[in-house]
């Protein structure tokens, strides 16, 4: 009975009910007018969608920031209009420069659609953490944005007008999605950068973007160089990358190339890895989805043979164990065992691999070739860069107590890493050989 009273509220008068309903209706109308967001709404034309951000350091230590903003056309008649606008500002910090950009822009800069974040080499060598704080705090910024480092002027990189995309940032986005097929550059996202700089045993590799001329970009001018490069990975052009350390192309640049990587130690860039070294690093870290390469045909027949790597798996082994409690000699020897399969894509040789013996010889040759690549990478990591870009430390971290890692190992890991004996052990097999068993040849 009492419960019924509680539910039905019989004491409320009809007049009171009517008044209550009127109040609710008025409240709803007021809420609809005041909470719907119309009061301070922004039209889409007044929003500047930032597609690319560039950050570099001037010679006098100030911070330069570029923002590439999309200028969407409202109607087809405006198709000829400029599709993006790149603005530059200079400040004492990244935020100071961004703030000035905001002040100068006629549109509200909206950073939720940033596709590419490009660091200049000078800024990267000085420490990218200076940019990470402001971007990590920003609720708009996308964690899945691609991160690049360039040795070319950042403004020129973002200013490239490509025929394939409406802006350089979108072009970079497309290129990064496509590099997965060849893996000559790491798929470095902002998220990866954030998580890896905090782990001394898992140092970041950031994709390198370069300006190239139309002939270089099209791969037409390689000619003799290609022959000389037989035995190297796709696009490999020496340790300092496509154009050497300075990275200045001879012809007028109008294309972008994503190839190779910048190696960071903590948040500071310590050097470049070329395309082949980058691929080897990704293979050692089990982050290599695909890779194609050409090598001389093993044996004395001459010619070359081309492959697609379709599968690889790396195990990091510690044959002498990990000795906790003696931080100085925690790890003395590491074996990187890599197994995988390659498909034959091209045979330009009189050797047509029609016997089991020749196939065994080929497999041994592939393994030796890739092992040599890994050795070059290890040498670069330990001596040239002095930084664990092959995630040995991460493997150690997973095997030792967290406290031992944090207190004893992590602070001195880079020094320990340089002294470790790292032995690659690569074993590859040949998988498919395509739709023909032998090369089609004219009868002489």
Partner 1 sequence: MGDRPGHGSRDEIYYTQIVVITAMIVFATGFLAAARVLVPVAGTAAWISVLIGGAFGLGIAVLAGYLAARFPDHSLVRMAERVFGAPLGKLIGLTFAAYCTVVLGLGSRESVLAMWIAFLQTTPPVLISAVFYVLIIYAAYLGIEAIARVSLIFFSLVVASLLVLTALASPVAVPGRLLPIVGNGLGPVMRAGFLAASYAGESIVVLAFIRHLKDKRGASRAMATGVATGMAIMAVATGFGVMMLGVRGISRVTFPVLETARMVGFGQFLERAEILFLALWFSAALLKLATVFYASITSVADVLGLRDYRPLIIPYALLGAALSLIPKTVLETFDYLNVFVRYSVWYTIALPVVLVLGAVARGLREGGDDIRDRDAG
Residues that bind partner 1 in the complex, under the rule CB under 8 A:
1-7, 9, 35, 40, 112-113, 139, 142-144, 191, 194-195, 198-199, 394, 397-403
Tell me the closest approach of the beta carbon of residue 382 to partner 1, in angstroms: 23
Contacts 24+ apart (CB under 8 A), 137-144: 138/111, 140/110, 140/111, 140/112, 141/111, 141/112, 141/114, 141/190, 142/111, 142/112, 142/113, 142/114, 142/190, 143/189, 143/190, 143/191, 143/194, 144/189, 144/190, 144/191
The angle, 0 to 180 degrees and rounded to 10, between the axes of the packed helices 275-284 and 356-379 is: 100
**Read out DSSP for 208-234?**
EEEEE-HHHHHT-S-HHHHHHTTTSBT
The answer for residues whose C-beta is within 8 angstroms of residue 390's C-beta and 6 or more apart is 281, 284, 285, 336, 377, 378, 381, 422
Tell me the closest approach of the beta carbon of residue 407 to partner 1, in angstroms: 11
Tell me the closest approach of the beta carbon of residue 398 to partner 1, in angstroms: 4
CB nearer to partner 1: pick between 111 and 237: 111
Tell me the closest approach of the beta carbon of residue 195 to partner 1, in angstroms: 5
C-alpha torsion 155→161→162→163, nearest 10: 170
Calpha distance 121→152 (Å, rounded): 8
Instruction: Calculate the CA 284 to chain-centre distance.
Output: 16
Tell me the closest approach of the beta carbon of residue 66 to partner 1, in angstroms: 22
CB nearer to partner 1: pick between 40 and 43: 40
- The DSSP 8-state label assigned to residue 268 in this structure reads E
CB nearer to partner 1: pick between 136 and 245: 136
CB 150 within 8 A of CB 121: yes
Tell me the closest approach of the beta carbon of residue 387 to partner 1, in angstroms: 18
Tell me the closest approach of the beta carbon of residue 396 to partner 1, in angstroms: 11
Give which of 276, 438, 426 is closest to 344, Cα–Cα: 438
Calpha distance 47→185 (Å, rounded): 33
Q: Which residue has the tokens 């809420």?
A: 31
Calpha distance 151→314 (Å, rounded): 31
- The DSSP 8-state label assigned to residue 245 in this structure reads T
CB nearer to partner 1: pick between 6 and 13: 6
Tokens for 89, please give them.
């500002």
Tell me the closest approach of the beta carbon of residue 401 to partner 1, in angstroms: 6
CB nearer to partner 1: pick between 398 and 432: 398
Tell me the closest approach of the beta carbon of residue 110 to partner 1, in angstroms: 11
The answer for residues whose C-beta is within 8 angstroms of residue 134's C-beta and 6 or more apart is 93, 94, 95, 98
Tell me the closest approach of the beta carbon of residue 138 to partner 1, in angstroms: 10
Tell me the closest approach of the beta carbon of residue 351 to partner 1, in angstroms: 41
CB nearer to partner 1: pick between 230 and 404: 404
Calpha distance 71→155 (Å, rounded): 18
CB nearer to partner 1: pick between 140 and 421: 140
Question: What's the 3-state SS for 337-386?
Answer: EEEEEEEEEEEECCCCCCCHHHHHHHHHHHHHHHHHHHHHHHHHHHHHHC
CB nearer to partner 1: pick between 137 and 326: 137
């Amino acid at each position: 009975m009492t419960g019924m009273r509680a539910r039905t509220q019989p004491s409320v008068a009809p007049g009171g009910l009517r008044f209550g309903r009127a109040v609710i209706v008025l409240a709803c109308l007021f809420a609809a007018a005041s909470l719907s967001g119309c009061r301070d709404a922004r039209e889409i034309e007044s929003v500047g969608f930032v597609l690319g951000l560039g950050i570099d350091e001037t010679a006098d230590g100030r911070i330069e920031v570029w923002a590439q903003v999309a200028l969407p056309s409202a109607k087809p008649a405006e198709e000829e209009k400029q599709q993006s606008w790149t603005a530059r500002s200079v400040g004492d910090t990244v935020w100071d420069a961004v703030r000035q950009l905001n002040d100068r822009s006629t549109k509200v800069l909206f950073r939720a659609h940033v596709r590419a974040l490009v660091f200049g080499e000078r800024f990267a060598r000085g420490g990218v953490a200076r940019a990470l704080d402001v971007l990590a705090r920003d609720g708009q910024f996308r964690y899945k944005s691609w991160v690049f480092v360039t040795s070319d002027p950042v403004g020129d990189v973002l200013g490239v007008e490509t025929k394939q995309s409406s802006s350089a940032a979108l072009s970079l986005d497309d290129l990064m999605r496509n590099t997965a097929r060849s893996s000559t550059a790491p798929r470095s996202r902002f998220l990866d950068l954030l998580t890896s700089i905090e782990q001394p045993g898992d140092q970041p590799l950031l994709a390198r973007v370069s300006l190239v001329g139309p002939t270089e970009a099209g791969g037409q001018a390689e000619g003799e160089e290609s022959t000389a490069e037989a035995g190297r990975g796709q696009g490999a052009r020496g340790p300092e990358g496509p154009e050497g350390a300075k990275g200045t192309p001879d012809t007028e640049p109008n294309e972008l190339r994503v190839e190779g990587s910048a190696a960071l130690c903590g948040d500071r860039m310590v050097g470049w890895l070329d395309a082949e070294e980058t691929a080897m690093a990704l293979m050692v870290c089990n982050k290599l989805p695909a890779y194609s390469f050409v090598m001389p045909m093993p044996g004395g027949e001459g010619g070359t043979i081309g492959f697609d790597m379709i599968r690889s798996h790396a195990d990091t082994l510690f044959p002498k164990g990990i000795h906790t409690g003696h931080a100085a000699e925690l790890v003395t020897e590491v074996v990187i065992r890599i197994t995988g399969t390659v498909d034959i894509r091209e045979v330009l040789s009189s050797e047509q691999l029609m016997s089991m013996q020749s196939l065994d010889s080929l497999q041994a040759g592939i393994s030796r070739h890739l092992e040599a690549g890994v050795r070059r990478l290890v040498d670069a990591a330990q001596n040239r860069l002095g930084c664990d870009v092959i995630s040995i430390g991460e493997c150690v971290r997973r095997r030792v107590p967290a406290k031992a890692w944090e207190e004893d190992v992590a602070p001195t890991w880079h020094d320990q890493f340089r002294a470790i004996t790292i032995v690659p052990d690569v074993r590859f097999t040949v998988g498919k050989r395509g739709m023909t068993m032998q090369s089609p040849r004219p009868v002489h």
